[in-house]
Amino acid sequence: MISVPTNHALILAAVIFLIGAVGVTARRNLIFVLMSVEIMLNATAIAFIAAASKWHQPDGQVFVIFILVTASAEVAVGLTLFLRIYHGWKNLDADEVSLMKG
Amino acid sequence: MNWYFYASGIVAVIAALMVVTRANAMHALLYLVTLFLAIASVFWTLGAPFLAALQIIIYAGAIMVLFVFVIMMLNIPNEAQRERTWLRSLIWVLPAFLVLILLIQFVVAVGTKGAPAGAVIASKAVGRSLFTEYVIGVELASLLLLAALIAAFHFGVLPERLETSDD
Amino acid sequence: MGILLWLVVLLPFAGALTLMLFGASMPKKASGAIGCTSIGLSWIAAMALAVSFRHPLDTTLYPWIKIDGFQVGMGLRLDALSLVMMSIVTFVGFLIHLYSSQSMYEEDSLPRSLGGYHRFFAYMNLFVGSMLVLVLANNLLPLYLGWEGVGLCSYLLIGFWYKDRANGYAAQKAFIVTRVGDAAMAVGLFLIFYQLGTLNIQRILALAPMKWTPGDTIVTAIALLLMGGAIGKSAQLPLQTWLPDAMAGPTPVSALIHAATMVTAGVYLIARTHVIFSLAPQAQLIVAIIGAATLVYAGFSALVQSDIKRVLAYSTISQIGYMFLALGVGAWTAAMFHFVTHAFFKALLFLSAGIISDALHHERDLFKMGGLKNRLPVAYWTFLIGVASLSALPLVTAGFYSKDAILFAAWSSSRILWAAGIIGALITSAYAFRAFFLAFYGDLKTEVSKLPGALMKFAVVVLAFFSISAGFAKNPFEGLLSGVFPELHLSGHSVEITLAVISSLWALFGVYLAWVYFTRPELSRAFGRSLVGRRLHHFLLTGWGFDWLYDRLFVRPFKAIAFGNSSDFVDKFFVGLGELAEYGNLALSATQTGKLRNYVTGLLIGAIVIAAIVMLKL
């Protein structure tokens, strides 16, 4: 039987999450930003699974399903928005789309 | 069998690092797929086989495909070149520093020992819980998908196409 | 009786109030009528009191201040001294009101609603009311009230044509310089109250000799402080700089306030508190010295002025110097007698000069006048009588009798003071007749455009009559005031006659000098072109440079301190608050870059902080 200490799984989740955070902060291209967000979502899913396994309850896994749904909706809308941004600004630079400045 | 967890974990971490640091979007997307597969393995070792399968089907199978389609449709010229100009090494210093602090805080807070995880949760139990306790969530999730569909459809119509359509 | 006395005081105030409230909405003639009638009625009441005067009369209207240890009632006292003052103030005031109702009639230089005419009479009535309170008060506190009231009216009337900034500055100068004196006087009042426990004049005069011996420090200090107030109000050295500039006001104002009445308030104050001055011989000596110095100073300054009103202003300063001289040597009655005659002939001179300048389109420069003898006969004869009385020409003028009384008293006290007085007499007749010759003889330089009206002629003729005849009332006058003032022991009668002859000859010599100056201009011109001549002329013209001195000594340091302090640490604190808010705004707006990456970085930092907080609790 596999019995991994829960904390190790949590630490793994944290590491992947933080790598995603680095990606969001450091990358300028919107596509990569969205990918990094996906990484972060998956990391939280790992944490949920680990918790569900520890407490022998299915709730964590249910929540991961919801995360899956959310991620799909988000990617769909997000990519559509990328289409519009590209149409307007002719590039996908996160620093260009800063009309909310000031 | 614990080594499988650690192996998948290492693959996941390396894949994530590669996703974040590539200049070519296609390469990054492929590494992302790798990441998802690794995470699916991790799910399997942590006692969630059903979700592992779902992960592969939905994430790697649908979401990533959507990603690839849209990026290829956008067809941005000289994209990799520009990425390389943006990716100077100085960029990584501040985010890496902040993230390192957060990691240290997390590890110190959580500790490295803990109860063993890995008990397999039956899919039946998951399904039952989904449609009894969390049935509202299911309905809301379907609404969310509907909303996303409509939004994507609406935003997807580019302005010059609107002018030529006869509405 | 008491009611009559109160009417004398309250009628002018009633007139002022009516004019202030309703003057703008009544026709001009009505305002003039009300203004003159209130003073006229007040004068009639004063005359009624005068003819029936037997004993001093004390009345109180109401208890003004009543606190533990300090009670002051608003009260009036009518004795010989205040009777004299009251009569002169109401009589001369009435004549000047009649004159100005005609001379100020076209002066309405502002639109009707801010009208000049009714405002003028409101202020003049207010002035007469305050002056009457001053001279009739039986307590030093109402006296001070009247003192301040006349100061206020002086300010309002000097700056009457307020649209011209220079008039406002002249008014401010008058007010501020007299304020210096007023402050000294207030300290004097505090000291009196502290020492004697009362401000009632009669009680003070009774208590003072019991408490202090002559020469005591405290009583000398009190006397000097009261003298400070008198110096300010009466424009003596060193607080005389405001009076020449006060000529910016209308001519009736100069006649009433700055010749006949307000400037003599200082003389009245010292005369009223004469017991205190008798107890402080050093202070009294200083009064005499200041009087002597001022009369010489002002006489020399008057000699070179070209503005006819400035000649008369310096002349006023000089004549009040004579009154101070008299007070200083203990000749109280002589000082008051000179006050009476001076009120008549100085008011006459101002009103007559007003007729001249009105006739010449407000020209006041003597060197632009000339040859008016036949054009303005009324002004000619009245002005002649005025300067004759001013120069104390023998026997026929009132000025002769009053000035001689002063010089006689000065001779008995100190030869030096007498010498100053006699030199002053020479210069007085010199400058007076210089002005007379320049204005009325010679070639006609400016055409006459307006002849004086009937009321104006009436006023000056009446004043001229009194400028001659008042002198003959000298003995009854002295008898009247003998009840108030102690007897002054003087040398014999023959000395008096000799001195009178000497001063008469001396005055006539001054007339001769003026005649020589006028008919032989080449003599003075040669001197006037030399370097010494020009420097001397400028020195005398600016009143011996007092304005320049005060500017360097007081005005500039004060302004420097005020400007330097205008942004002091309190200001900096409040301005700093504003700047802090601005800076904060700039700083925080800079964080709104609109860039996604920056916001995410902010999130990360926030996460670190929260994690740290949570961890510290764990």
Helices (H), A27-98: 30-55, 59-89
Six-digit token pair at C265? 């308030």
Of the candidates B36, C436, C269, the one whose C-alpha atom is nearest the C-alpha of residue A71 is B36
Query: Which DSSP state fits B57?
Result: I
Please tell me the CATH code under which domain A6-90 is placed: 1.10.287.3510
Strands B116-117 and C57-67: unpaired
Residue C309: pLDDT above 80?
yes
Residue type at C444? L
Q: How far apart are CA C445 and CA C192, in angstroms?
A: 57
All residues of chain A having their beta carbon less than 8 Å from the beta carbon of residue C605 are none
Return the higher-pLDDT residue of C545 and B132. B132
Partner B contacted by C561 (CB < 8 A) = no
Residue B166: pLDDT above 80?
no
Size of interface A-B (CB pairs under 8 A): 253
Quote the pLDDT of residue C96: 93
Where is B112: in which H helix or E strand?
A: none
Residue B1: pLDDT above 50?
yes
Q: Give the closest-approach CA distance of B68 to chain C in angstroms.
A: 23
All residues of chain B having their beta carbon less than 8 Å from the beta carbon of residue C612 are 105
Six-digit token pair at C366? 């003597």
Among chain A, residues having any CB pair with chain C shorter than 8 Å are 21, 24-26, 28, 33, 94-95, 97-102
Disruptive mutation site among C601, C604, C610, C615 for chain B (greatest number of B CBs within 10 Å): C604
Judge contact between C399 and C467, C-beta under 8 A: yes
Residue of C nearest to A33 (CA): C597
All residues of chain C having their beta carbon less than 8 Å from the beta carbon of residue B101 are 608
Quote the pLDDT of residue B141: 96
Q: Give the closest-approach CA distance of B127 to chain C in angstroms.
A: 35
Q: Compute the average pLDDT of residues B110-119.
A: 78
Residue type at B122? A
Quote the pLDDT of residue B167: 47
- How is C437-506 classified by DSSP, letter by letter? HHHHSS---S-------HHHHHHHHHHHHHHHHGGGGHHHHHHHHTTTS-------HHHHHHHHHHHHHH
CB contact under 8 Å between A50 and B46, yes or no, is yes
Quote the pLDDT of residue C112: 53
Partner C contacted by B99 (CB < 8 A) = yes
Q: How far apart are CA C255 and CA C247, in angstroms?
A: 10
Question: Residue C200 — φ and ψ, nearest 5°?
Answer: -70, 130
Disruptive mutation site among A49, A89, A91 for chain B (greatest number of B CBs within 10 Å): A49
All residues of chain A having their beta carbon less than 8 Å from the beta carbon of residue C589 are 102
Residue A90: pLDDT above 60?
yes
Quote the pLDDT of residue C114: 54
pLDDT in tens, C183-194: 999 999 999 999
Chains that touch A (3 or more CB pairs under 8 A): B, C
Six-digit token pair at B58? 């939905």
pLDDT in tens, C43-63: 999 999 988 888 888 888 888
What are the residue boundaries of the structural domains of chain A, listed by start? 6-90
> What pLDDT band is residue C110 in, cutting at 50, 70 and 90?
low
Question: Residue C78 — φ and ψ, nearest 5°?
Answer: -110, 105
Residue C567: pLDDT above 80?
no
pTM value?
0.72
Return the higher-pLDDT residue of C54 and C141. C141
Residue C392: pLDDT above 70?
yes
pLDDT in tens, C5-42: 888 999 999 999 999 888 878 888 888 899 999 999 99
Q: Compute the average pLDDT of residues B89-93.
A: 85
Query: Which DSSP state fits C530?
Result: S
Quote the pLDDT of residue B132: 92
CA distances B136 to A57, B121, B131, C501, Å, are: 19, 22, 8, 131
Least confident window among B31-35, C441-445, C609-613: C441-445
pLDDT in tens, C446-464: 777 778 888 888 899 999 9
Strands A4-5 and B116-117: antiparallel
Residue type at C325? L
Partner B contacted by C618 (CB < 8 A) = yes
Residue type at A83? L
Map residue C75 onto helix, strand or coil: strand
Quote the pLDDT of residue C398: 83
Quote the pLDDT of residue C111: 53
CA angle C53, C57, C62 (to 5 degrees): 140
Partner C contacted by B136 (CB < 8 A) = no
Map residue C40 onto helix, strand or coil: helix
Q: Compute the average pLDDT of residues C493-516.
A: 85
Question: Which residues, including other chains, have CB under 8 Å from residue B64's CB and lie 6 or more apart?
Answer: B29, B32, B33, B36
Considering only the beta carbons, identify the residue of B125, B133, B145 that sits closest to A73: B145
Q: Give the closest-approach CA distance of A90 to chain B in angstroms.
A: 9
Cis-peptide, bond into residue C238, ω within 30° of zero: yes
Considering only the beta carbons, identify the residue of A21, A24, A98 that sits closest to C595: A98
Residue A49: pLDDT above 50?
yes
CB contact under 8 Å between B98 and C608, yes or no, is yes
Partner A contacted by B77 (CB < 8 A) = no
Size of interface A-C (CB pairs under 8 A): 31
Quote the pLDDT of residue C360: 84
Considering only the beta carbons, identify the residue of A24, A28, A95 that sits closest to C600: A24
Question: Which residues, including other chains, have CB under 8 Å from residue C7's CB and lie 6 or more apart?
Answer: C41, C42, C45
Disruptive mutation site among B94, B99, B100, B105 for chain C (greatest number of C CBs within 10 Å): B105
Residue type at B66? L
Residue of C nearest to B103 (CA): C608
Q: Compute the average pLDDT of residues C168-181.
A: 91
All residues of chain A having their beta carbon less than 8 Å from the beta carbon of residue B63 are 38, 71-72, 75
Q: Compute the average pLDDT of residues B5-19.
A: 95
Judge contact between C188 and C280, C-beta under 8 A: no
Disruptive mutation site among B99, B146, B153, B162 for chain A (greatest number of A CBs within 10 Å): B99
Residue A75: pLDDT above 90?
yes
- How is C120-164 classified by DSSP, letter by letter? HHHHHHHHHHHHHHHHHBSBHHHHHHHHHHHHHHHHHHHTSSTTS
Judge contact between C306 and C367, C-beta under 8 A: yes
Query: Which DSSP state fits B158?
Result: -
SS (H, E, C) C300-367: HHHHCCCEHHHHHHHHHHHHHHHHHHHHHCCCHHHHHHHHHHHHHHHHHHHHHHHHHHHHCCCCCEHH
Least confident window among B40-49, C5-14, C113-122, C604-613: C113-122
Residue C518: pLDDT above 80?
yes
Residue of B nearest to C607 (CA): B102
Calculate the average pLDDT of chain C: 87
Q: How far apart are CA C555 and CA B43, in angstroms?
A: 92
All residues of chain A having their beta carbon less than 8 Å from the beta carbon of residue C601 are 25
Judge contact between C102 and C96, C-beta under 8 A: no
Q: Give the closest-approach CA distance of A100 to chain C in angstroms.
A: 5
Considering only the beta carbons, identify the residue of A11, A20, A26 that sits closest to B16: A20
Quote the pLDDT of residue C73: 84
Q: How far apart are CA C559 and CA C566, in angstroms?
A: 10
